[in-house]
A and B are shown apart, each in its own frame.
Chain A
Amino acid sequence: MDTTSVCNVSEALSQADGDQELLLTLAELFLQESPKDVAAVRAALARQDRDGLAAAAHKLKGSVMPICAPRLFESAKRLEVLGRQGEFAEAASVCADVETRLAEVHAALRDLIAGGFPS
C-alpha cells in the first residue's frame, strides 16, 4: 500500500512550515480527538440525524487536513455529503470505510510519534 495515501508526512510537515514539533503535537491531538468525531458520526447515524451526521463528518474532515491523510479526507468528505442528503444506508457503509482508514492513519501517526521523521 502506498503510505503517502494514508498519511503524507512530508506534505503535512510542509504545511506545518517545517515544524516537526508542531506536527507531532497535531498528530497527538488527532489521535485524541478523531475517535470522538467518529463516535458522534455513529450516534448521528443511529438516530438518522442529517445535520448531526454532516456536522460530525465535517469536523472530522477538517481535522484530517493538517495531517494530510488524503484517503481518509475523501471518505469523510463523502460522508458529510451523504449526511446532508440523508442517504443513511450508503452513509453507514462509508462510515465503515472511514473507520478502516482512520485506523490506518492512527497506526501511521503512532509510528511517526514513536519512530520519528524519516531522514
Chain B
Amino acid sequence: MNLDSTQHIARSFDSSAPSCFMVATILLVEDEPVTRTSMAARLKRLGHRVLEAENGQTALEVARRERPDLIIVDWMMPEMDGPTFCETVRRDPAMKSIYILLMTSHDQPAQIAEGLARGADDFLSKAASKQEITARVLAGLRTSRLVRELETTGAQLESSMLLLQTRQAEMEADLQSAAAFVHSLLPPPGIPAPGLALAWEYQPALTLGGDLFGVAPIDADHLGLYILDASGHGVAAALRSASLMTFLRVENMLELIGSYDPAKVLFEANRRFPLSEEGEYFTLWVGQLHVPTGSLSYASAGHHGVLLSPAERPSQWLTRPSSPLGFDQAAVFASDRILLQPADRLFLLSDGIYEASSPTGEPWGRWRFQQAIETQKRSLLATTISHCFTEARRWQEQTDFLDDAAVVGLELTV
C-alpha cells in the first residue's frame, strides 16, 4: 500500500489538528437570492470556495463537474426540491458519497426523518447562528474527507490486490511447469530391467517437492537406484534436489567414477554438494543391484528410508548410522551387500510418509509402515504401495501430506 495514503488517514483521524485549516469546495443550492447571497458570504468568510446554483438541475451539473466536498441544499425549491436532489446524488456512483446538508426553516422530527431517509447527512437551519453553521459545516467536511480517504485507499487496495492475484497466478503457473519437469525426470513405473517390476506413488507437499528418486539400468546386468531428501521445502529445495538428481544420472557417474558403486557415488556427491550457506543439506541412499544374482550393494548418507521385504522372511531396514551429505568433505561411506531372492521386494520411502502425524501429534512411524507392508505381501506391488498411502492418510485424517510423501517399490519377479 502507498505509505502516503496511510499518513493522510492518520492525519484525518488526528482530532487535535486545527480544523480551521480545512479549506473546502462547497456547493450551495438555493433558489432564493437573498438567502443564497447571505449564506454564500458567510461560508466564504470561513475560508471556503463556494459554488452557487439556483436550482437542482444546475446543481447536479456543477456537482458532477466539480466534485465538491460538501453540498448545502435548500429543502423547498421549485421543480426539484432538496430531498429529490439528495436522492439523485445518491444514485450517481461518482457523487453518491458527497456529504449533503439539507437547509430548512422547519425542524419537525417527521421532516428530519424524511430528509435523512432520502439521502441527507445532516440539517442546517436557515436561522442558524454563525457558530452553528461553522460547526455543522466543519463536521460535514471532516466526514467528507474521511470518506474520500477511505475511497482512495479502497481503490488502491483493490488495484494492489488485482496485481498480487496476477503475480500469484503467474508464480503458480511457473511452479506447475517446474513440477511437471521434475515429474518427467522420475522413472516410469513398469519393468526397468528384465526380471524386475517397479511401482511408485509420490505426493509432493507443495507444488514442488524436495524428495526425489531414480531407478535406471547401468549396463546389461546392473540397475542403479537411489532416493534423496533435500532439507527444507519449496522452490529452493526442489531446485537443489533437481540438481543432485542430474548429478546422479548413470552416464554422469560412469564418466566421473567409472561405475555406480554406492560408496563411491556417495563419496563424490558428498564432495560436490557441501552444506549450503543457509545450512541446507541432503540425505541420500544409493543402491546397485546385480539383476542375474540378486546381489544388492548399498550405502546411505543419513537416509533411513529403505526397507527390504523378503517373500518368506521378516522385513528389515537397509541402513547403518551415517551422516548426511556435505558435513565433512573427507567423509567415507561404507557399503553393505545383501542377496535378494525371487519375489523379494525393496521399498524406498521418504520420511513424509512415516512422519504423517495424527491430529494428536503422534507420527504414523516406520514401524506402522513396516506392518502395512508385512500384511500386504501377497498383494500386487502397486496395491501394497497404495495401501500404505491409504493407511497413512487414515492415520493423519487428511488427504494432503505436510511433507513430500513418496513410496517406491521394486520387486524381483519370479
B126 touching A29, Cβ below 8 Å: no
A16 touching B35, Cβ below 8 Å: no
A63 vs B127: C-alpha distance when bound (angstroms): 12
Q: Which residues of A contact B65 (CB under 8 A)?
A: none
A59 touching B32, Cβ below 8 Å: yes
The 7 A-B residue pairs whose C-beta atoms are closest, nearest first, are A66-B38, A63-B34, A62-B32, A22-B41, A62-B35, A29-B34, A59-B32
Q: How many residues of B contact A (CB 8 A)?
A: 17
A26 vs B32: C-alpha distance when bound (angstroms): 12
A17 touching B42, Cβ below 8 Å: yes
Closest to B45 in A: A17
A17 touching B130, Cβ below 8 Å: yes
A22 touching B38, Cβ below 8 Å: yes
Q: Which of A54-73 contact B (CB under 8 A)?
A: 55, 58-59, 61-63, 65-67
Closest to B31 in A: A59
B129 to chain A, nearest CB (A): 8
Q: Within 8 Å of chain B (Cβ to Cβ): is A3?
A: no
Q: Give chain B's interface residues, CB within 8 Å of chain A.
A: 31-35, 37-38, 41-42, 45, 74, 76, 78, 105, 126-127, 130
Q: Which residues of A contact B33 (CB under 8 A)?
A: 29, 33, 63
A17-B130, A55-B76 are known contacts. Are A62 and B41 too (CB-CB below 8 A)? no
Q: Within 8 Å of chain B (Cβ to Cβ): is A25?
A: yes
A20 to chain B, nearest CB (A): 12
Q: Within 8 Å of chain B (Cβ to Cβ): is A111?
A: no
B34 touching A66, Cβ below 8 Å: yes
Q: Which residues of A contact B130 (CB under 8 A)?
A: 15, 17
Q: Which of A1-57 contact B (CB under 8 A)?
A: 15-17, 19, 22, 25-26, 29-30, 33, 55
A16 vs B41: C-alpha distance when bound (angstroms): 8
B64 to chain A, nearest CB (A): 27
4 A-B pairs besides A19-B41, A33-B33 with CB distance below 8 A are: A16-B38, A17-B130, A55-B78, A62-B74
B126 touching A25, Cβ below 8 Å: no
The contact of B127 among A17, A19, A26, A65, by CB within 8 Å, is A65
Interface residues on A, range: 10 to 19
A61 touching B105, Cβ below 8 Å: yes
B123 to chain A, nearest CB (A): 16
Of B32, B34, B74, chain A has the most CB atoms within 10 Å of the CB of B34
A57 vs B74: C-alpha distance when bound (angstroms): 15
A19 touching B45, Cβ below 8 Å: yes
A44 to chain B, nearest CB (A): 12
B78 touching A25, Cβ below 8 Å: no
Q: Which residues of A contact B105 (CB under 8 A)?
A: 61-62, 65
Q: Which residues of B contact A59 (CB under 8 A)?
A: 31-32
A58 touching B76, Cβ below 8 Å: yes
The contact of A65 among B35, B37, B41, B76, by CB within 8 Å, is B35
A22 vs B105: C-alpha distance when bound (angstroms): 22
Q: Which residues of A contact B31 (CB under 8 A)?
A: 59
The contact of A62 among B34, B42, B78, by CB within 8 Å, is B34
Q: Which residues of B contact A29 (CB under 8 A)?
A: 33-34, 37
A17-B130, A65-B127 are known contacts. Are A26 and B34 too (CB-CB below 8 A)? yes
Closest to B46 in A: A17
A48 vs B237: C-alpha distance when bound (angstroms): 92
Q: Which residues of A contact B32 (CB under 8 A)?
A: 33, 59, 62-63
Closest to B130 in A: A17
Closest to A62 in B: B32
Closest to B133 in A: A17
Of B32, B42, B78, B127, chain A has the most CB atoms within 10 Å of the CB of B32
A17-B130, A19-B41, A22-B41 are known contacts. Are A67 and B34 too (CB-CB below 8 A)? yes
Closest to A65 in B: B126
A38 to chain B, nearest CB (A): 14
The contact of A26 among B38, B45, B78, by CB within 8 Å, is B38
A17 vs B133: C-alpha distance when bound (angstroms): 12
A106 to chain B, nearest CB (A): 13
A17 vs B43: C-alpha distance when bound (angstroms): 11
A22 vs B37: C-alpha distance when bound (angstroms): 9
A89 to chain B, nearest CB (A): 25
A14 vs B33: C-alpha distance when bound (angstroms): 19
B379 to chain A, nearest CB (A): 94
